Amino acid sequence: MDGSGDLAFPALVAARLLLAFAPLPDALKYDQQLSSPLTSYSRLREGIYLFQHGIDPYSGGAFRHSPSLLSLFSTVLPLTPYTSPILWTAADAVAAWALVRIWRLRTGAKETSRDGQIAALYLLNPYIFLPSLALSTSSIESMLCLLAVMFACRGRASAALFALACLVQLSLPAVLLAAPIILLTVTRPVSRLALPQPYHAQWKRIIPLLAEFVGYTALLTFASTVVCGNWLWVEKTWGATLTLPDLTPNPGLWWYFFTEMFDHFRPFFLMVFSVHLLIYIAPLCIKFQHDFLYATFLLLGVQALFKPYPTLSDPGLFLSMFSIFPEIYPYLRHPIVTALIHLHASLLLPLFNSLWLRQGTGNANFFYASTLVFGMGNGAALMDAIWAGLRVAVGELKEGYEVAQE
């Protein structure tokens, strides 16, 4: 970073750490907007307690975290009221550092004047730091995601694929990112949106990388099974994203739909909702084959919008990554409208959540209406990003004619 950036980053991290130790309401840890059944800190602590006392935490229906977190936080990094805020702040700091590194690699510069701004846009994003204050493990997922992208941008394929495999252990929907990250490792992360060129697949390099990713995933899966002593964790963690057994309210679009769903229709719509996430991979990778970093960014937006158990961290990561694509800003179609929808949703979500679950003066329709507004905001941001990514490659001639993308 430049001189100001060198001071800004540690100052931001120090401020975040002080905020993490501030006497904040414990209700944050139980807020459905900040943590889900798969990322809840209280459920993680409960699982660790059962594991340390010789009880299989996956024998019940509450613990749905990865065995990787179970083994890590029950041995090497024990969770206490003092260590937890430090660990989660460190995770956010590493994520912000990785985002700055991605920006530098994209611009091809060692330092830029925007480094401090990019770090601040991540660390001060309410969608990022509120789940972190709630000690949601989604903060760790965001860190692993940005590390995987950063290593891919640097061409360090093994490190990128291992980080992605670790992320898949925590969150199965992250497998959506496998294709663009593998392709990103064999290309350059520099900005190519304005100069689109067809990508000629290098199968001799891609297939070994895919095999390496599968190998890392298989190795971590085996290690998780050894930790647990059985395969029950697969159903409770990965299976939860496919079968949606816990309908605890969250900012996503799934929970209310399946609350109202008749049981005999449930398997069909679970299949439709799950397969629906897969259909975006090929179109986005093909359309943005000249810039796989941008395709990765867009798939993060798809994941934030349609993930089964989302938290505010998921759209927060997507929105924070806007900062590394300044070339699209002039081409965003409705940025003010999108920002206002997000502002509106950020006010409605806690208000309607409180009216329903705390004061008892509302019902589930109140909160679900606010999640629909939130989904509209995320969808609008995603559509804006897709439109701008396509529009930046269109030049205007002096006579007023347009040159379409090749």
Q: What percentage of residues in the chain have a pLDDT greater than 90?
A: 56
Comparing CA positions, the residue from 5, 286, 250, 49 lying closest to residue 138 is 250
Distance of CA 285 to the CA centre of its chain: 18
pLDDT of residue 1: 55
The pLDDT of residue 406 is: 46
Contacts of 270 (CB under 8 A, 6+ apart): 242, 243, 244, 258
Rg of the chain over all Cα atoms, to the nearest angstrom:
21
Give residues with Cβ within 8 angstroms of 329, minimum separation 6: 335, 388
Q: Are 170 and 68 in contact (CB under 8 A)?
A: yes
- The H or E element containing residue 217 is helix 203-228
Whose structure tokens read 């510069």? 109
Confidence at 401, pLDDT banded by 50, 70, 90: very low
Q: What is the pLDDT of residues 196-214, one digit of tens each?
A: 777 767 778 899 999 999 9
What integer pLDDT is reported at residue 404 of this predicted model?
47
How far is Cα 78 from Cα 131, in angstroms, rounded to an integer? 20
CA 12 from chain center: how many Å?
A: 21
23: CB partners within 8 A, 6+ apart:
none
pLDDT digits (tens, 9 = 90+) for 90-122: 999 999 999 999 999 998 888 888 888 999 999
Answer whether residue 305 shows pLDDT above 90.
yes
pLDDT digits (tens, 9 = 90+) for 261-299: 888 889 999 999 989 899 999 999 999 988 899 999 999
- The pLDDT value given to residue 187: 87
Residue 403 confidence (pLDDT):
46
* Cα–Cα distance measured from residue 65 to residue 291, given in angstroms and rounded to the nearest whole number: 34
Tell me the per-residue pLDDT of 126-147, one tens digit each, with 9 for 90 and over. Answer: 999 999 999 999 999 999 999 9
Q: Give 305's contacts (C-beta < 8 A, 6+ positions apart).
A: 253, 315, 375, 378, 379, 382
